[in-house]
């Protein structure tokens, strides 16, 4: 498991990016992005979660970080990244569906980064296979300044702890101020039909 003072490993992520030179319905191309590209010479927050479109990730964590982006910037954070053991097609579609405005998505499709930092767990009990444990990292030039790791790290966990890596909790650590939950949009799970629906809260 990754620890404070550790430099993240050198990993290349396979991403899909928009290419204006490509015509048609799918104007995207493959682009390799490295951890050095993402983290070098920057102070960033990286948060990771079990999977795109899953309830806690979609209802609280992703929109929470996105809505608090300006507050993180004011606190000296250059970028916020969301990582999951999903491919780039899934991560891009999730970001589009969730109307992400600020957070940048990292597809760790093969789980190379997650495995290298010791945060991979087996979630076969849910039919997920191998996925990331939920956590957040405060990185300074690729070195872990603070790790916010949810308790109970184990394979086939019966629950999905959420609190340590909550956006407000991470921001509170950085600023030294009491956590304030974002009041913007959230994504909620409609338990009747089992699909995600967007609820507009506040002014957004």
**C-alpha span between 46 and 162 (Å, rounded):** 16
> How far is CA 70 from its chain centroid?
17
**C-alpha span between 74 and 79 (Å, rounded):** 11
Q: Which long-range contacts (CB under 8 A, 24 or more apart) does 108-112 make?
A: 108/11, 108/13, 108/48, 108/83, 108/84, 108/132, 109/13, 109/14, 109/85, 111/85, 112/11
Residues acting as catalytic residues: 57
**DSSP code per residue over 29-77:** EEEEEEHHHHHTT-EEEEEEES-TT-HHIIIIIHHHHHHTHHHHHHTT-
Closest CA relative to residue 12, chosen from 93, 96, 112:
112
The CA-atom distances, in angstroms, between 33 and each of 59, 154, 178, 200 are: 28, 30, 35, 33
């Amino acid at each position: 498991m990754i620890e404070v003072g550790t430099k993240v490993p050198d990993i290349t992520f396979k991403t899909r990016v928009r290419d204006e030179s490509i015509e048609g319905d799918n104007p995207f191309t493959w682009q390799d992005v490295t951890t050095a590209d993402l983290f070098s010479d920057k102070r960033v927050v990286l948060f990771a979660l079990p999977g795109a479109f899953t309830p806690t990730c979609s209802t609280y964590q992703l929109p929470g970080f996105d809505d608090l982006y300006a507050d993180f910037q004011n606190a000296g954070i250059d970028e916020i990244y969301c990582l999951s053991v999903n491919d780039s097609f899934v991560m891009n579609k999730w970001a589009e569906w969730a109307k992400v405005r600020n957070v940048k998505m990292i597809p760790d499709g093969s789980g190379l980064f997650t495995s290298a930092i010791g945060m991979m767990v087996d979630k076969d009990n849910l039919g997920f296979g191998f996925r990331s444990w939920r956590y957040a990292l405060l990185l300074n030039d690729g070195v872990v300044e603070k790790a916010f790791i949810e308790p109970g790290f184990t394979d086939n966990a019966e629950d999905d702890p959420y609190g340590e890596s909550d956006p407000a909790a991470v921001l509170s650590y950085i600023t030294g101020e009491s956590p304030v939950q974002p009041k913007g949009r959230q994504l909620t799970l409609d338990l009747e039909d089992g699909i995600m629906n967007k609820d507009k809260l506040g002014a957004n």
